[in-house]
Chains A and B, each alone.
Chain A
Amino acid sequence: MSSTRTMRRAEPKDEKLELLQGTLDMLVLRTLLWGEQHGHGIGQAIRQSSSDLLQIERGSLYPALHRLEGRGLISSEWKSSDLNRRAKYYRLTAAGKKQLAAEESKWKLLVRAIRRVMRPAPESAGDE
């Protein structure tokens, strides 16, 4: 079951999207699929791969990371980063991988369902 914590509303900037409830965890897990990464890197990765449409607030990201770690879906370790600075690196656990797969398929189902509902209404049936 995914977390039901609500995301904090971002500043109503142009072109920035609000995340759907529960999707942040999935995005984090997905990002970590490519390998271990620290908090900042995860945020950047999500931003970049969404072409700057999704910007994750630290206030949501770090609690999410700790929560996921608490549930055993990711693990962490302090390491030196490329710039020789100490950083906390997160890595996907086996349970996390399984969880990611489950959420992904649920997500696909949801997207398909929403797309069906939202397809353009037939012209003839429209009233004013």
Chain B
Amino acid sequence: MLWPFRRNKPSEADLADELSHDLATEIEERMDAGVSRAEAESAARRDLGNVSRIQEELYELHSWPSFDRLAQDIRYGVRTLSGNPLFTAMAILSLALGIGANTAIYSLMDAVMIRALPVQDPSRLAILTWRAKPNPAVINSHNGSAYDEPDGRIASPDFPWAAYESLAKDNSVFSTLFAHAAAGPPLNIVIHNQAQLSPVELVSANFFAGLGLSPAAGRLFAPGDDRPGAPQIAVLSYRYWQSRFAGDASAVGQTITIKGVLFEVTGIAPPEFFGISPGSAPAIYVPISQRALLVPLYGQDAKAMFISPHDYWVGVMGRLRPGVTFERAQTEIAARFAQFVSASARHAADRANLPELRVEEGGSGVDSLRRRYSKPLLVLMTMVAFILAIACANIANLLLARSTSRRREIAVRLSLGAGRLRLLRQLLTESLLLALPGGLLGLVLAAFGIRFLLVLLAGGNEDFVLRAQIDWRILLLTLSVAMTTGILFGLAPSLAATRVDIIPALKETRASSPTRRGRRLGLSQLLLVFQIALSLLLVLGAALFVRTLANLHSVELGFNQESLLTFSLDAGQAGYQGVALKAFYMGMVERFRALPGVQAATISDLPLVSGWTHSTGVVIPGVTEPPGHHSPVAYVSVGPGFFDTLQLPVVFGRPIDSRDVAGSPAVAVINQVFADKYLRNRNPLA
């Protein structure tokens, strides 16, 4: 027979039909008994009672709860949970940790590694890089970044301006090819008589057009703005405009001073555009032709930088023409660049190591940050994934343990006539009651976590700007993972509990409850083992991570960092020149030395451990290098007392001291590595 299996719920119309049939029959019967129609009708209706009440009762028999049932569930749930504060706190805390940590990390990952630049059609953007063995002979100076490839070569996104110009001409694969270069360390910018150091980016005139950006105010750069001799104009980033001009539209047309040079503000970049490199946000964009006014030349000819094929300093990005693939762009552009570098080789031997161009997807921007942090972030990501797993296991175990102890309660409620569905609903409500505050707390943790991680990544760099916000999709995902666990492990044992034989369960006292039953024990033990294993892994990972972090903060730098204070300033940008500049610096050092509590003071032309170095070729009498091979040597110009102040030992000879002034014989101190490499066993002082 089919009937016993039929459990479809009756529609409301079905019941209404049934009741109206009942009513009609009743009326007829009463009229048959000799009552008037009107009287029969009203009596029958009275008899039938409240129809909607009957419907409600039936509805509840078959379907989900109404809202006051839910409220009742919630009240009861809150009561049971607050009756067991330790369990509740543990559950909520582990949920919050899992959700918060994951959301923070994954949001950051997204900002660093995945998210596209906030520009038009970022997937069509390409970024040009080159690869070569270390120290290619065709490169005289390199101003920018380079990083090691796994195959021992180096890679860099910086090109000679001449190469950019030659590639941009008659280009069949890129609709626009645009160039950009940082103007070095932050520059002194005076607005309304207030000075502030901010990063400046040099860009080609088609930079904003190539990215497909439109101005928030004024105009962005147009063709011709980067011609030599073009007016000195600047575009402000939206954030900088907000902070220095309070978003005042009259900023456009005003004059600002960058490193003592006047520039007219022509426009404001759109608010979402923070620059093309995640982690750095230029405040001001200036046509690249103004480079000589802003970047120290270190003896190089200003014009030569735009002509020489040996000075690598501009980043190049392009927008692919419609229908052109990255592969095709790679083939064509790489061939043209190969021609260019080959022509720039001065000796046959130079050709042994020529930079090779590569076209990479540029949708996420220049990826120095990705390179630097992708590995630690991946490690961190794996770790927080473990945290989430542990949190889930934690919740599961807690709920499991609780459901065993609640068997008796469930049995009582069952015997009092509670429906199984009703009980499940109750348990579900409790799971959700745990998940909600857990999720909220997780949100708070995520917000703080992101801020903490940003500080960690920035490593004291003030200009570090990474737009990382809580990613709601990720929050939702982690929340639902945690909740699913809660529901699964909250319900599964409870479901089993609702199937218990009521009588023995009722009889069992708290002491005699069968917590040692085979299957359930197996599950909770499994969870326990899983948890311990994960925790062990995590503790090890965390220890390693903390160690790495600690190492980073206490790297052996070769000099005594104890009680050492460093700062940098640029009086040249404020207008000091020549003799006055030298007098200013020397006077400053003298005044510092005079301060009580200062043991020693000195100056150098580059801040220590800043990541910046000068390098130059060195010619050593008696040491001949093969032609086409020259090794750049990093150097820093220092004032007297440098070695004393840093407590750097000078193993041989004398340090630079007050004898070394202008006009005295030029002297230098070399390090051990230099001596070993170039002088072999000869006396360096000779």
Where the two chains meet, the residues of A that have a C-beta atom closer than 8 Å to any C-beta of B are 4-5, 38-41, 43-44, 57-59, 62-63, 66-67, 69-70, 72, 75, 78, 81, 83, 85-88, 93-95
Contact = CB atoms under 8 A, between A and B. Distances in A.
A52 to B, nearest CB: 13
A97 to B, nearest CB: 12
B653 interface: no
A13 B604 CA distance: 107
A59 B54 contact: yes
A86 B57 CA distance: 23
B298 interface: no
A63 B14 CA distance: 13
B24 A86 contact: no
A75 B10 CA distance: 12
Nearest to B416: A4
Contacts of A41: 25
Nearest to A21: B417
Contacts of B7: 70, 72
B679 interface: no
B54 A63 contact: yes
B22 interface: yes
A63 B58 contact: yes
Contacts of B1: 93-94
B682 interface: no
Given A75-B3, A95-B4, A40 B54 contact: no
Contacts of A5: 417
A70 B3 contact: no
B677 interface: no
B57 A63 contact: yes
B5 interface: yes
A62 B58 contact: yes
A92 to B, nearest CB: 10
A120 B49 CA distance: 40
B17 interface: yes
A67 B59 CA distance: 11
A39 B29 CA distance: 15
B5 A40 contact: no
B1 to A, nearest CB: 6
Contacts of A4: 417
A5 B17 CA distance: 25
Contacts of B536: none
A88 B58 contact: no
Given A59-B53, A59-B54, A40 B10 contact: no
Contact of B25 (A40, A57, A59): A40
A42 to B, nearest CB: 10
A95 B49 CA distance: 31
B6 interface: yes
Contacts of B53: 59
B19 interface: yes
Contacts of B50: 59
Identify the 7 closest CB pairs spanning chains A and B, nearest first: A72-B4, A75-B3, A40-B22, A4-B417, A40-B25, A87-B21, A63-B57
A88 B21 CA distance: 9
Given A39-B22, A70-B7, 9 more contacts: A58-B54, A59-B53, A62-B54, A63-B61, A66-B15, A70-B61, A83-B25, A83-B28, A88-B17
A93 B22 CA distance: 23
A38 B19 CA distance: 10
Nearest to B3: A75
Interface in B32-78: 47-50, 53-54, 57-58, 61-62
B350 interface: no
Nearest to A67: B61
Given A59-B50, A62-B19, A66-B10, A40 B26 contact: yes
Contacts of B10: 66
B327 interface: no
A40 B26 CA distance: 8
A70 B419 CA distance: 13
Contacts of A88: 14, 17-18, 21
A57 B26 CA distance: 13
Nearest to A78: B17
Contact of B58 (A57, A66, A78, A86): A66
A78 B15 CA distance: 12
20 contacts: A5-B417, A38-B18, A38-B22, A41-B25, A57-B49, A58-B49, A63-B57, A63-B61, A70-B61, A70-B62, A72-B4, A72-B6, A75-B4, A75-B6, A85-B21, A86-B17, A87-B21, A88-B14, A88-B18, A88-B21
Interface string B249-262: 00000000000000
A44 B29 CA distance: 10
A26 B29 CA distance: 26
Contact of B3 (A59, A78, A93): A93
A44 to B, nearest CB: 8
A58 B61 contact: no
Nearest to B2: A75
Contacts of B24: 85
Contacts of B3: 72, 75, 93
Contacts of B14: 88
Interface in B500-528: none
A88 B417 CA distance: 29
A95 B53 CA distance: 29
B416 to A, nearest CB: 8
B423 to A, nearest CB: 15
A81 B54 contact: no
Contacts of B28: 83
B366 to A, nearest CB: 67
B5 A72 contact: yes
Contacts of A58: 19, 22, 47-49, 54
B412 to A, nearest CB: 13
Most buried by A among B18, B29, B49: B18
Contacts of B417: 4-5
Contacts of B62: 66, 70
A59 B21 contact: no
Most buried by B among A62, A72, A75: A62
A86 B22 contact: no
A41 B62 CA distance: 24
A24 B61 CA distance: 17
